[in-house]
């Protein structure tokens, strides 16, 4: 047994988070900073104490391990029976991650004051998946009585669409992370702050009030820089060192300048904290073409896409797990090993009979143009015709035989 020396933080206590009854998380001895970071990820704490949390995060003031060995560039450390994540540059232990326990009850030991718990969201997501719920990288609203879920990779337009729907009186369900039930009927999000960009404010002027004066001035400055870049037409200037440096600098500043706002600032009291019906599923894909296209997609094909999206979102954890398996080749976590296939099996059932669409759009987009194109597909669900019903049944049957074989490109 390795020697693990932990000194508790100076702010003892237990803080619980209940993710819609699916995943329960307990923070032990969090500092105010630890608690604030957790709330940004998980929303507000539970008002009731949880009897048996699924994930326990033990926050400690210091975390030292005797007899530690290192992998590669000392990003990882291990002993005979423990695997650790290290701080870059100084080989100090920042967390112990029990990969063999992920999906069941597990305890993470984490150094206090890091700003976030390493891998917490991927671990929460895999725990939800083990319980038959689907953690999707998506935004979700209720608009004119229809529950709309918009999934996709980062920077594909989901947040812009969410904010645009807010301007049309939609209700907030979730942003960045949405949990879809195993039967596909319900979707739940987290009421937590989300980030808005210069493009969001530029295309939706009503958002200006959600951004403080300093950020609005910074947005304006970046806009001027972008305007100057567009005015420069000569190839020699555009490929020059000064021009390229200015491009990189403005892009870096813009990426960092994403103020976080609470959903209530945008949606006021139109917040569905209890979740909503999932009526329409849209997959957003950005493209060079300035046209916005919406096309129906077979539910089984949507299931394939979303299964790989879930795998992509788990990439940080999968990379760490590969190092863990190198250190402990006999320790296998079946859920992590089969995350894509497991997600697809649940998705194929959950989406069977659903209205599913793929949306190809430029990024960033103007919401008014997106709304004009997507609105006809956002009407409340009607009875499924016998023809479509046959297609859905056939698609579900195909899911059992075709599994995850790739189909037509985006």
Q: Within a domain: residue 252?
A: yes
Q: Indicate whether 144 and 289 sit together in one domain.
A: yes
Do you know the residue count of the chain? 410
Q: Indicate whether 244 and 290 sit together in one domain.
A: no
Q: Indicate whether 330 and 369 sit together in one domain.
A: yes
Cα–Cα distance between 57 and 26 in angstroms, integer? 6
pTM to 2 decimal places: 0.81
pLDDT of 284 > 60? The answer is yes
Cα–Cα distance between 110 and 59 in angstroms, integer? 5
As given in the structure block, the two tokens for residue 134 are 């689907």
Q: Which domain holds residue 339?
A: 134-195+268-402
Q: Within a domain: residue 21?
A: yes
Q: Indicate whether 280 and 241 sit together in one domain.
A: no
pLDDT of 152 > 80? The answer is yes
Q: Indicate whether 21 and 109 sit together in one domain.
A: yes
Which has the higher per-residue pLDDT, 1 or 353? Answer: 353
pLDDT confidence bin for 195, thresholds 50/70/90: confident
Q: Within a domain: residue 96?
A: yes
Structural domain total, the chain: 3
Q: Indicate whether 123 and 159 sit together in one domain.
A: no
Q: Phi and psi of 172, rounded to 5°? A: -80, 135
pLDDT confidence bin for 231, thresholds 50/70/90: low
**Residue-level pLDDT at 386:** 36
Cα–Cα distance between 335 and 320 in angstroms, integer? 15
**Residue-level pLDDT at 199:** 62
**Residue-level pLDDT at 192:** 85
**Residue-level pLDDT at 26:** 96
Maximum distance among all Cα pairs of the chain, rounded to whole angstroms: 67
Q: Indicate whether 43 and 169 sit together in one domain.
A: no
Cα–Cα distance between 134 and 127 in angstroms, integer? 10
Q: Indicate whether 98 and 166 sit together in one domain.
A: no
Q: Indicate whether 59 and 146 sit together in one domain.
A: no
Per-residue pLDDT reduced to its tens digit, 65-111: 888 999 987 789 999 989 999 998 788 999 999 999 999 999 999 99
Boundary (domain end) residue, out of 84, 115, 130 = 130
Helical pair 241-256 and 213-231, crossing angle rounded to 10 deg: 150
Q: Within a domain: residue 286?
A: yes
pLDDT confidence bin for 380, thresholds 50/70/90: confident
Q: Indicate whether 245 and 275 sit together in one domain.
A: no
């Amino acid at each position: 047994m390795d020697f693990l020396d932990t000194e508790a933080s100076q702010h003892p206590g237990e803080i619980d988070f209940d993710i819609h009854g699916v995943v329960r998380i307990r923070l032990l001895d969090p500092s105010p900073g630890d608690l604030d970071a957790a709330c940004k990820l998980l929303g507000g704490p539970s008002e009731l104490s949880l009897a048996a949390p699924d994930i326990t995060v033990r926050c400690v003031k210091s975390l030292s391990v005797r007899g530690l060995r290192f992998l590669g560039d000392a990003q990882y450390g291990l002993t005979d029976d423990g695997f650790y994540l290290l701080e870059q540059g100084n080989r100090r232990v920042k967390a112990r991650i029990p990969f063999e326990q992920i999906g069941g009850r597990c305890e993470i030991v984490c150094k206090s004051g890091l700003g976030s718990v390493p891998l917490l969201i991927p671990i929460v997501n895999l725990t939800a998946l083990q319980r038959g719920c689907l953690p999707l990288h998506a935004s979700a609203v209720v608009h004119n009585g229809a529950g709309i879920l918009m999934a996709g990779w980062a920077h594909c337009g989901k947040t812009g669409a969410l904010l645009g729907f807010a301007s049309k009186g939609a209700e907030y369900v979730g942003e960045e992370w949405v949990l879809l039930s195993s039967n596909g009927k319900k979707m739940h999000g987290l009421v937590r702050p989300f980030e808005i960009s210069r493009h969001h404010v530029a295309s939706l002027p009503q958002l200006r009030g959600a951004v403080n004066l300093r950020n609005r001035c910074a947005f304006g400055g970046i806009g001027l820089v972008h305007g100057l870049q567009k005015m420069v037409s000569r190839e020699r200037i555009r490929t020059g060192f000064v021009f390229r440096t200015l491009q990189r600098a403005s892009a870096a500043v813009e990426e960092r300048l994403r103020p976080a706002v609470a959903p209530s600032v945008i949606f006021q009291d139109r917040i569905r904290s209890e979740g909503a019906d999932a009526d329409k599923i849209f997959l957003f894909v950005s493209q060079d073409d300035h046209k916005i296209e919406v096309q129906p997609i077979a539910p089984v094909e949507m299931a394939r896409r979303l299964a790989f999206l879930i795998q992509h979102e788990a990439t940080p954890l999968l990379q760490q797990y590969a190092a863990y398996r190198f250190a402990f080749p006999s320790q296998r976590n079946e859920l992590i090993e089969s995350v894509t296939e497991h997600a697809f099996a649940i998705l194929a059932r959950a989406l069977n009979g659903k209205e599913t669409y793929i949306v190809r759009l430029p990024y960033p987009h103007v919401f008014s143009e997106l709304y004009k194109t997507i609105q006809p597909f956002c009407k409340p669900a009607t009875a499924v015709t016998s023809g479509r019903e046959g297609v859905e049944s056939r698609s579900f049957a195909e899911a059992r035989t075709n599994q995850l074989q790739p189909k037509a490109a985006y």
